[in-house]
Amino acid sequence: MSMQISRRTFTSAAAALAASALLPLTASAQSLADLKKKGKISIGMLVDFPPYGILNTSNQPDGYDADVAKLLAKEWGVTAEIVPVTGPNRIPFLLTNKVDMLIASLAITPERAKQVLFSKPYSAASIVLFGATKTAIKGPENLKGLRVGVARASTQDVAVTKAAPEGTQIRRFDDDASAMQALLSGQVDAIGCSVTVAAQIAKRAPAGQFENKFQLLQQNMAVALRPGQDEVAEAVNAFIAKNTANGELNKLYQKWLGADLPKLD
C-alpha cells in the first residue's frame, strides 16, 4: 500500500513539474537598480512601422523609437539592447521577461492598461486634414461641398468619414501615395493623412501651397513596463518630462517625421 502511494505521489509530482515547464515565465518587476546593475536594458521595438521603427541599410533597428531608446539608455548609463518585436507579440514578450520594456509605438488604450504599466506619452501618431492654403477650412463643418481624399479603409478614412458633414465629397484611393498625387494635381481640395505624409507633400510642393487645417485624430504612445515596476515608470516619466521640456524629443520627432512633436497629455 505504501509503495502504491509513493509511486502515485512521485507520478503526480513529475506530472506537475513537466506541466510547469510548459508555462510561460511569470512576469517579474525589476527596479531601476536592477537594470543599472545589469548594465543594459533590453527594449522591445517594432522594426516594420516607419518612421517610428525600421531596419536601416545595415539591417539594424532604427527610427524615432530607436533614437528614444538610445537616449534613455544613455541617460541611465547603460547600453540599449533593441529586440525586434511584432504588433501581436510585443506585450507577451514584455510579460514573459523577454524584454525589460517596450518602446514600440504602443498606443495607450484601456484594454492594454489592464495588462501593462504605461508611462506618460513620449510620442503620438497624428492624423490631420491637409489642404490648399487658399481653401478656407477651419473645422469639419467647412468640408461640406469639398472634395476630400483618403486612402481607402485606412485610419484616416474612418476619421474623415466620422467628422465630415453630409455633402462632403469623400474620394477614396488605393493608398496614401495616390491620395497625395490627387491633392498635388488638384483632383481634391484636401486629404486626410498622417503628419508624415503631410510633411512629404510640403517638401514636394511650392512653399506655402498647402497647410495642416485641423487634427482629425491623435493616438498617444507610451513606454510599456510590467505591472509593479512603479519605480522604473517614475524614472521613465522623469526622462520623458525632461526631454520634452528641453526639446530633445522634438528634435528626434522632427528628424524622423518632419513635424513638431504633438502636444502630449
Share of the chain above pLDDT 70, in %: 89
Reported as a pLDDT band with limits 50, 70 and 90, residue 169 is: very high
- The strand pair at 40-46 and 54-55 is best described as unpaired
If DSSP codes are grouped into helix, strand and coil, which group holds residue 49? strand
Round the average pLDDT of the chain to a whole number and report it: 89
Which residues of the chain are in CATH 3.40.190.10 domains? 32-125+220-257, 126-218
Residue 35 burial class via C-beta count within 10 angstroms: exposed 0-12, middle 13-18, buried 19 and up? buried
Q: Looking at residue 159, what is its pLDDT?
A: 92
pLDDT at 43 over 50: yes
Reported as a pLDDT band with limits 50, 70 and 90, residue 225 is: very high
Highest mean pLDDT among 90-94, 156-160, 199-203: 90-94
Q: Looking at residue 200, what is its pLDDT?
A: 84
CATH level 3 topology of 32-125+220-257: D-Maltodextrin-Binding Protein; domain 2 (3.40.190)
Highest mean pLDDT among 105-109, 114-118, 196-200: 114-118
- In 3D space, the residue among 154, 151, 139 whose CA is nearest the CA of residue 216 turns out to be 139
pLDDT at 75 over 70: yes
Mean pLDDT of 235-242: 98
Q: Determine the Cα–Cα distance for residues 141 and 129; give it in Å rounded to an integer.
A: 12
pLDDT at 162 over 80: yes
Q: Determine the Cα–Cα distance for residues 228 and 153; give it in Å rounded to an integer.
A: 38
DSSP secondary structure, 142-174, as one string? GGTT-EEEEETTSHHHHHHHHHPPTT-EEEEES
pLDDT digits (tens, 9 = 90+) for 110-136: 999 999 999 999 999 889 999 999 999
pLDDT at 198 over 60: yes
Name which of 26-35, 43-52, 99-108 the model is least confident about: 26-35
Q: Which residue has the cell 524584454?
A: 99
Domain 126-218, architecture per CATH: 3-Layer(aba) Sandwich (3.40)
- For 62, the grid coordinates are 532604427
